[in-house]
Amino acid sequence: MWSQSWVNIMDIVKPYNKSSIDVTEKMVEKGMQPVDMAKIAEEFFVSLGLTAMPSEFWSGSVLEKPKDREIICHASAWDMCNGKDFWIKQCTRVNMEDLVTLHHEMGHTQYQMQYKNQPKIFRDGANPGFHEAIGDLMALSVQTPHHLHGIGLLDQFEEDEEAEINYLLSMALEKIAFLPFGYLMDLWRWNVYKNKTNPDTYNCDWWDLREQYQGVSPPEVRTEDDFDPGSKFHITTNSPYIQYFVSSIVQFQFHQALCITADQFDPANRVGKPLHKCDIYRSHAAGEKLAKMLQLGSSKPWPEALEIVTGKRQLDASAILDYFHPLIVWLEKENNKTKEHIGWVRDKSHPPCLRTKTKKSGSQSNSNPSITFILGVFLCAVSLTKLDFFLVN
Ligand SMILES: [Zn+2]
């Protein structure tokens, strides 16, 4: 709905007719259950010398959609702040997407366990983007065809250039397509806070950003009677979003640095040891470096934490370019062949959103302003004392 992942168009845009790395079918065939998927994720962390999930994780977590009650199924990870109860909640379906999500959530759990000995105030990510990046970092290794083959989820895979381009394109449809969306979510929200976007322009300002950054438009004309930003969980639950954008960049920085540590990537030999084939599985050296950073929690400024793993103190998107290098070269060649227009042009005759409102607004709310204020103060107080939780994007 939000075009935050484009991987579902892979079957339409797939460049070469090679076997897919979507292991969903295999998972179903094996009769895999959500708990088996969580064990796969746990085993990856443990292989790096990181911590196994405690028994409280297995008894307290919700890994399947309960049959006896309604719950909010949006996946999240919870630190109950007593040093032993670390839980996740995920209505796991048996498919590859949810396997990746399980790694994402368990990345939060691993972070929480690593910094559990810090004073409460520092039991957090170096910045919120770091917290979102850890599980995704693991998934970058787990998703490689070689790794999936090794853990018995992929029978055979080709290792030629065509299969590699297919693989990198599917990763790009996930990771690159996310960047503009990850950015515009909070851009829209910050414009609301700045009164640059006001209630009369909520929806069309949203679609302006969607078109400008993502190059997408709605399937039918929208108006100010609609509130499309509200379709996104993080808008209606007031959950910040910029961390997912930061995470998308920093996870590749972590991956690049740890792959060098694990001797799985050689910047001087990108053909022999390319970044997209790196799998840090079983590298205790990589795990040790990562643990050192995770254990800091938020007790040091994030550039110091970043430096432990990467040797650098700044966010840097060049690791993404490194990872996708073969795909970039291939795309340039293909686009040249077809003289493809790069980018998109706004079709002014078909505006995606009409700045009109037919229904009356402003008078529907009967709420008493002072009650709203007291409720706001109460919710603030609750959030200050609440448990730490992290969500999936
Ligand atoms: Zn998350």
Tens of pLDDT, residue by residue over 214-229, are 999 999 999 999 999 9
Residue 379 domain-assigned (yes or no): no
**What would the mean pLDDT of 47-60 be, rounded to a whole number?**
98
228 inside domain? no
Catalytic-residue membership of 159: no
Residue 362 falls inside a structural domain = no
pLDDT tens-digit map of 119-129: 999 999 999 99
Whether residue 366 lies inside any domain: the answer is: no
pLDDT band for 379, please (50, 70, 90 cuts).
low
Provide the percentage of residues in the chain whose pLDDT is more than 70.
93
Q: Note down the domain range covering 98.
A: 7-177+241-338
104 is in an annotated binding site: yes
pLDDT tops 60 at residue 363: no
Count of structural domains, the chain: 1
The answer to the question of residue 140 being in a domain is yes
- Contacts for 345 with CB less than 8 Å, ≥ 6 apart: none
Inside any domain, residue 195: no
132 is in an annotated binding site: yes
Q: Are 100 and 143 in contact (CB under 8 A)?
A: yes
Q: State the DSSP H helix or E strand holding residue 315, giving kind and residue range, or none if neither.
A: none
- The verdict on whether residue 224 carries a ligand-binding annotation is no
Of 74, 234, 284, 325, the active-site residue reads: 234
Answer yes or no: is 116 within a domain: yes
Q: Please state the rounded mean pLDDT for residues 296-323.
A: 98
**In this predicted structure, what is the pLDDT of residue 377?**
57
Query: Does the residue 348 lie in any domain?
Result: no
- The residue-averaged pLDDT of 112-117 equals 98
- Element counts in the chain: helices (H) and strands (E): 16, 5
Q: How much of the chain, in percent, has pLDDT values that exceed 90?
A: 84
